[in-house]
Amino acid sequence: MKGMRSILLLVSVLLCFSLNSASAKRYMMSIHTASPIHMQRQHFGKMKVSFLKVGQGDATLIILPNGQTMLIDGGPYEAGEVIIQKLIEKGINHLDAIVSTHPDMDHIGGLIPIVEQMPVSLILDSGKTYSSFTYHTYRNHIKKRGIPFVSVKEGQYIPLDPHVSIQVLNNGKSKDENNESSIVLKVRYGKADFLLMGDADVRTETEILKQFDVHADILKVGHHGSYTSTSEMFLKKVEPQFAILSYGSKNPYGHPHQSVVRRLKQHGIMMYGTNRRTVEMETDGEHITIGSSGLMPLLK
């Protein structure tokens, strides 16, 4: 198929941060293939992506075509119960993976009640430690529940669905600042590419550009639309059709910054914010449906 790129899942075992479960180690072993896996025009089901309304914070739920579930961050503490209710509404009573992009409270706070109340198979983390009460509470609950906790590495793939490529573009364990250490994910299903930036800043964007193909149809804008992220050079490389900004109304940080909004507009990128509602997306790998706005073909 024109424009299709093959994806080779490399053999690697994700380094354990405090991983003792043998089954979890086997689960996180990347799939080895003698030849690349090609994204054919076949119907394996739909992938659903929900950019959740969690106030001033960040949380993204992905339901993969094979039914596996992945929650990326959980917003602030008070968002935890909101997310749990959302999961129940979607018929989800178990999470196959939680990705904690970095230890800021507006990303991991809501994960505390989720970890307390919901079965979770695996937690993937940047490996960045932090001295905050929220972070220690979060880690203690994970240990109490006996959930495998894995520190990911740049370039690795998360093998939750054989038809979906989920690659780690940044983990920043050794970096000084939390935002700079954010896990960045590129999720690809068929011709649909999602780039999820966490709170990554311009420095991280520059590093990623040197190593990875960042072209994507959907950009989850870094750091809630702060002026510290989403550079002109980065946007030119990503070339997204749509941008998602996760932020709370009337937040004290001025997110999203008008310079970023202006830049997105200048590139003709359609913007969706989580300040008013959850942004729901669905793709069969050929088309993307956004909320009630109808079917939009991806032009590659």
| More confident: 181 or 57 | 57
pLDDT higher than 50, residue 12 = no
pTM: 0.84
Residue 17: inside a domain? no
* Per-residue confidence (pLDDT) for residue 173, from 0 to 100: 60
Domain that residue 203 falls in: 22-31+46-291
Residue 3: inside a domain? no
Confidence of residue 297 (pLDDT cuts 50, 70, 90): very low
* Number of C-beta neighbours around residue 3 at 10 A: 8
| CATH number, residue 94 | 3.60.15.10
pLDDT higher than 80, residue 299 = no
Q: Which two tokens stand for residue 107?
A: 């990303």
Q: Which two tokens stand for residue 142?
A: 């994970």
Distance separating alpha carbons of residues 137 and 120, to the nearest angstrom = 17
Q: What is the pLDDT of residues 199-256, one digit of tens each?
A: 999 999 999 999 999 999 999 999 888 899 999 999 999 999 999 999 998 888 888 9
Provide the mean pLDDT of the chain.
Answer: 84
Residue 15: inside a domain? no
* Per-residue confidence (pLDDT) for residue 179, from 0 to 100: 60
Mean pLDDT within 261-267: 94
Task: Give the count of domains, the chain.
Answer: 1
Residue 300: inside a domain? no
Residue 6: inside a domain? no
Q: How is 148-170 classified by DSSP, letter by letter?
A: -EEE--TT-B--S-TTEEEEEEE
Q: Hey, what amino acid is at 203? A: R
Residue 201: inside a domain? yes
Distance separating alpha carbons of residues 191 and 205, to the nearest angstrom = 23
* Per-residue confidence (pLDDT) for residue 291, from 0 to 100: 82
Residue 298: inside a domain? no
Residue 96: inside a domain? yes
pLDDT higher than 90, residue 79 = yes
* Per-residue confidence (pLDDT) for residue 58, from 0 to 100: 94
